[in-house]
Structure 1
């Protein structure tokens, strides 16, 4: 929000200096991003008129001008392209300092010059250096420029938080300034203008709660060619808005002063009564900026005889815009609720001052006041006869301020200090709040412009920021604290982070919203949640997996010559609900990515790249924190993002024998690797965090006093049979006497048929109540051999 200092001081009286005003605005939460002094050193610069212009005899781009200063005629050599007879412009007389230059009588290419005609940039008033600053033809010649333009002044630019929509106007800021400096806001004249004719348009509301109020007025016989008064044009310019034409400038001026966006239609170009409705699918509208936009039912439009003539709350249409030929005007001011405007302009690549305000919330009581102010300005400057104000309203959909109780004891407890009752009441009333005292505090009703005041803590915040955070004492908290003992049945997420860091991973933190194109590359757009109001087109959907963002971070590191990268992330993913109307599904995952050498470069061993089995070991060590038993199995359905022969599903085995799939591990699919422009293989894992954190309570049990027996067996099986499948079969066949199963050899080559492999395993058997006999052990071995032969066509290797 940009505004000039002098305009603000018209709305609130204060003796504070410019520097004090700037510091106080920042201290009360309205951060001053920039303050630029305007016209502090314009002594000697006057309003002058060019009477004649002649070509310089020695320079094609220079002109010799005769300039009327009101008291004498001066000869000035000027190179500005817009210098012409009759032009009124600023003149820096001899002895004046303009920037670092002191104006002196001089000869330019042999021609005397007795001053300098100036541009806005040379005077420090604007960035425009394309030519002389053009002043109105009726500007009084010889008047000091500072007096004529209301200088000196300063341009403030505030960085406002989204909850302070009320401060997107000079008058809204004035309330905070009044409270901070113990002043009051100057009463504002919005006296209704009487109707001088019956010209009016009927207004129909067809969008329900999205537009509960719409106010309009016809003004006939306007002279739209009138130039915007210099005082208004300068306030607009110092607020960052370029003056265009009187009718447009008046609507912009009212928006900046009180915060209500408006629009002016050419009444003669409207074909019928005014309506508000939702746009229809594929309905088009030509906007003021010349663009044709395709709309849908997410947009609101203003219509005349059901023809869309403006994009509600964002921008007017080109077909009904006001021009210098306009003689009859229809003024519009409406209350568009934030939910109906948020994100709509961004979808069309638009960012307008009106949309910016309506997205954050505008006072629903302002439309009629805005119409009255704009009417008065237009009639006083351009003439015309206003008709009656026409208003359509749906009272049941207008927000109603609700009283909020502020307790004296609660205020003191939260702030850690006592604030005098008189100060509390003064601050709240200066902010425009209605205050009624009660036994234990106050009942406060916020004005309709303060959407952010809804609970007691909001009022306490208002007191705190006006009193000044620097004035609140720093007090250590007191009282008893409740100690919560950590549970033994859960591993803390911080422990997982520390463990992965100990395994040489670095933690990454990525946005929870990502580019739709990225998820599409990963085949992960199914069930993705789209954002209604994304920060940008590249952050338009919520992530359905951690790996896309994590691999992108790995790629950025590789692009910066980091040859060995290992990253992990703990975070939530989001998916559409299974039932319409429910909230999106959220789940917390842990993911890791690795690329490059398995270890830093060293002399003691042969270098090799990280592979599937390295990450498998990392996952198993992570599972050991909770005692989880993991199984790695060939995926039942291939995951498009992973290599079909170098990936596995990860299961956690529960104590009751059931299993649950918790994620996947593997190498990126070569096609995805090429799509992501990664030169080297990348191995990844992504696991549901909850099952890894769940830990059973440790229970002690005596060791068996009977000896264990080991039997080693080797089987020849097809290459397609996994160890996980074999292990499951052995455990089922061996029964309760199996204490452990060890795979100690894998062989393929001479003596083993092509397409087969030999796996040697050790069965460790033990009983709790007796010593196992050879007959017991042989029976177990027989059952194991038989089960493997039946289930996997395994042949016992001798």
Structure 2
């Protein structure tokens, strides 16, 4: 936001220097990016009047002008095509110094003497315009210094506003801040209702009351678009970085800069039947004022008539309905558009306008009447327009409501570390435009002004107090806190313990993106619903991961492509799954393993890692969970190799999976060696059992060996569970020490050999008792698994 210091000081004029003013504004949270003089340095340039203008006798493109400075008349040779008698001009007299230290001297051009120079705006450093000499108003006082006449001893201040401070995108908004910062009165611009000269109106219909709650339209007749825009307005626009176009457009831009309310003027004779504020229909097209043709979609808000789109609401008007030199009747639009309807729309179309910049951040929803009257007065004054009645069309139910917020002085003191007097607090709030609804000692209930969309809670008010009171006036207080050791619940195994165990087993921790390529994830997890990203970094990172495996496999692929073929990686993080109740986020720990069993060395025999190596690593990891047993059972998973997949359970609940990567996906990632994966839910493994002391038995133990033959497809874990079930409470050890297949055993069966140990804490078990346990075990195994004792 660029603003002229002198324009600002017409609203509020504190007795401080320009530098102090900029420092003050910056410390209030409106950062000043920089400033620059509104004109380059020059001297000796006055307002002159061309009294006569004749063709140069020796040059077709030169004219010989007689120019008066009010006291003397000088001959000046000029090549500008717009030089003519009666024109008020910028006259650099002999001895004048123009920008770039260019000194004006007496000269002779094609045998004609020239005593001075008629200047263009570019030659004076006012703009890049050099089509002709600078034309001044007919009432410009001849002989007056041009710097004084244009008030060029001024600076343009460039203020960088945060998105929440849309209220400061105007001279009025900055002036409000300066006013309260200096406790100075604010001189508001006069905007009384103008005199209505006729009763002409144009119908307006709002079909999207959410996107456009308020719309004011006014018809102007007898508009003279050919009159020049007053120099004072052109200068104020220029200093704000806005180019003068024609008086109607200049007036709408001026009111936008002055008050913060964008307006738009339509050529009324080009409008058909009525104005309609509606959503676009897919495929509709609109040619904008800059000549760009847009194809619209149904999410975009339009200003349209019976013939079709006229303007992209809150962004830019259309070419066919804009004001031109032939315009005689103008329909002035002034609306409030909901910020959410405008946000992002300009950027999506590759546009950026002053109007969209304001609307998408929030325009004062009570400002439209004032802005219309201000613009109307200027149109009448400058263009001789005749105004009709201003017609408001409103959807009251969708007009925003000002927030009501409570504030306690104790909260202010607690948050800012300084006690501010109650009177000063109220003075600041009222100065910022808040209305005090209730007030008592140390308590206020206030209503936020309509221009502050960012006010909602008590902390917002405290922030405002801090800004105006002065951040540099707040005391410097070192933070204090009690640093007490934090205990770790014994029953919860920390993630750091699990990570340390994996590191000790030769794994390295990886960190991958939480968003992955949708096609790969869909193939690996066809039954899982992914959450789509609204604004992905790229097309191949557009969905949230439902497992940590895709990211780890990408990391593995990266390492293999760089000749790192012995890889063991693990990662802990969230997976995201779209469920009926919403997005489910679950903490996981996952790993990927490939390559040789051992790192390269003289002791390494070139053996590749296999399923049981990784299963052993997982068993080591799960041993960190004290007192809990996990079961490895045959499983199936869409991403894992059939027959090389185990599901891991705890008390019958699924904990995770372990297995070899399916060959199809190995091919998809370009991996030519065996890869093993595991993934565990942290919330289902971290809870441990507290250790309990059991006194050591003083009595001897009794051991037995048991070898049974069972079918090949019988799982060892099922046999183990049955043995434990029938062995009684005194069983202290059960060890599978041999699995045999081969000579003497049916090819479809296998032999399992167990070592069992019993011990009672209070007595010695008898052989009869142990034999009874053995008989129960054998009978149960025969019944459940068709087991037989091995001879």
TM-score normalised to the size of structure 1? 0.76
Judge conservation of contact 1:216–1:332 (CA < 8 Å) in 2: yes
Please state if 1:766 is matched with 2:757: yes
**Following the alignment from structure 2 to structure 1, what is the Cα–Cα distance between the partners of residues 679 and 116?**
75
Provide Cα deviations, 1:229-249, integer angstroms capped at 9, x if missing partner: 444444444444444443334
8 Å CA contact 1:530, 1:540 repeated in 2:
no
CA RMSD of aligned residues (A): 5.5
CA distance in 1, matches of 2:707, 2:659: 30
User: Number of residue pairs matched?
Assistant: 757
Name the structure 2 match of 1:695. 688
Matched, 1:302 2:291: no
> Residue 410 of structure 2 aligns with which residue?
409
Encode CA deviations 1:15-44: one digit per residue, 9 max, x unaligned.
333333333333222233444454363446
Alignment of 1:87-486 (within 5 A): 96=97, 98=99, 135-136=134-135, 138=137, 146-147=147-148, 149-280=150-281, 282-289=283-290, 290-296=292-298, 298-305=299-306, 307-435=308-436, 437-476=439-478, 485-486=487-488
Moved more, 728-737 or 405-414: 728-737
Partner of 1:735: 724
SS of residue paired to 1:325:
coil
Q: Deviations over 1:199-225 (max 9, x none)?
A: 112333332444322211111222234
* Structure-1 residue corresponding to 2:652: 658
Contact 2:287 2:293 in 1 (8 A): yes
- Determine the structure 1 residue equivalent to 2:28: 28
Cα distance in 2 for partners of 1:620, 1:700 equals: 24
Residue matched to 1:706: 701
Following the alignment from structure 1 to structure 2, what is the Cα–Cα distance between the partners of residues 287 and 551?
49
Deviations 1:105-162 (A, max 9, x none): 7999999999999998897767x6x967974465968875644554344444444333
Measured after TM superposition, the shift of residue 391 of structure 1 is 0.5
Kindly indicate whether the alpha-carbon contact (under 8 Å) linking 2:4 and 2:155 is maintained by their aligned counterparts in 1: yes
Q: Alignment partner of 1:766: what SS? A: strand
Structure whose CA Rg is larger = 2
Question: What residue number does 1:60 align with?
Answer: none
- Go from structure 1 to structure 2 and tell me whether the alpha carbon gap of 1:292 and 1:741 turns closer, same or farther (over 3 Å shift): farther
8 A contact 1:285–1:317 mirrored in 2: yes
Which of the residues 566, 577, 580 maps onto 1:578?
580
Counterparts of residues 670-689 of structure 1 (less than 5 Å): 687-689=680-682
Q: Is the 8 A contact 1:662 1:687 kept in 2?
A: yes
CA distance in 2, matches of 1:278, 1:230: 40
* Superposed CA offset, 1:267-296 (max 9, x none): 122212223334445555444453232322
Matched residues in 2 for 1:517 and 1:553: separation? 14
Provide closer, same or farther for how the CA distance between residues 162 and 495 of structure 1 changes in structure 2, counting only shifts above 3 A: farther
**C-alpha distance in structure 1 between counterparts of 2:121 and 2:204, whole Å:** 44
Residues 65 and 439 of structure 1, relative CA distance in 2, 3 Å threshold:
same
Structure 1 residues 121, 259: closer, same or farther in 2, change over 3 A? same
CA contact (8 A) 1:276 1:303 kept: yes
Consecutive unaligned residues of structure 2, counting only runs of 5 or more, are none
Deviation at 1:463, TM superposition (A): 0.8
Instruction: Tell me by how many angstroms 1:388 deviates.
Output: 0.4
Closer/same/farther in 2, CA of residues 638 and 526 from structure 1, 3 Å limit = closer
Residue 174 of structure 1 and its aligned partner are, at CA, apart by: 2.3
How far is 1:689 from its partner? Answer: 3.4
Whole-Å Cα distance in 1 between the matches of residues 486 and 219 of structure 2? 69
- Measured after TM superposition, the shift of residue 669 of structure 1 is 7.0
- Cα offset, 1:427, TM superposition: 1.5
Deviations 1:381-416 (CA, angstroms, capped at 9, x unpaired): 222111100002233332332432222222222222
Q: Which moved more, 1:551-560 or 1:243-252?
A: 551-560
The whole-number CA distance in structure 2 between the counterparts of 1:605 and 1:481 is 50
Where 1:470 maps in the other structure, the secondary structure is helix
SS for the counterpart of 1:276 is strand
* Rounded Cα–Cα distance in structure 2 between residues aligned with 1:234 and 1:571: 59
Please say if residues 519 and 548 of structure 1, whose CA atoms lie closer than 8 Å, have aligned partners that are also in contact: no
Checking the alignment, whether the CA contact within 8 Å between 2:300 and 2:341 is kept in structure 1 is yes
Deviations 1:660-701 (A, max 9, x none): 1446776597668867x9999987665443224333333344
Which residue of the partner structure matches residue 489 of structure 1? 491
Shift in Å, 1:658: 0.7
Q: In structure 2, what is the Cα distance between the partners aligned to 1:525 and 1:577?
A: 12
Following the alignment from structure 2 to structure 1, what is the Cα–Cα distance between the partners of residues 68 and 608?
86
Deviation at 1:316, TM superposition (A): 3.2
* SS state at 2:715 partner: helix
C-alpha separation in 1, matches of 2:527 and 2:169: 39
Equivalences for residues 737-752 of structure 1 within 5 A:
737=727, 739=733
Question: What is the DSSP-based 3-state SS (H/G/I as helix, E as strand, rest coil) of the residue aligned with 1:219?
Answer: strand
Residues 313-347 of structure 1: per-residue CA shift (max 9 Å, x gap): 34434442333332222122222223334444455
Question: Helix, strand or coil for the counterpart of 1:426?
Answer: helix
**Shift of residue 526 of structure 1?**
6.4
Q: SS of 2:24's equivalent? A: helix
Q: Please state whether the residue corresponding to 1:161 is helix, strand or coil.
A: coil
Shift of 1:484: 6.9
Cα distance in 1 for partners of 2:737, 2:257 equals 78
Q: Is the 8 A contact 2:655 2:685 kept in 1?
A: no
Higher mean Cα deviation, 158-167 or 385-394?
158-167
Q: 2:532–2:544: 8 Å Cα contact kept in structure 1? A: no
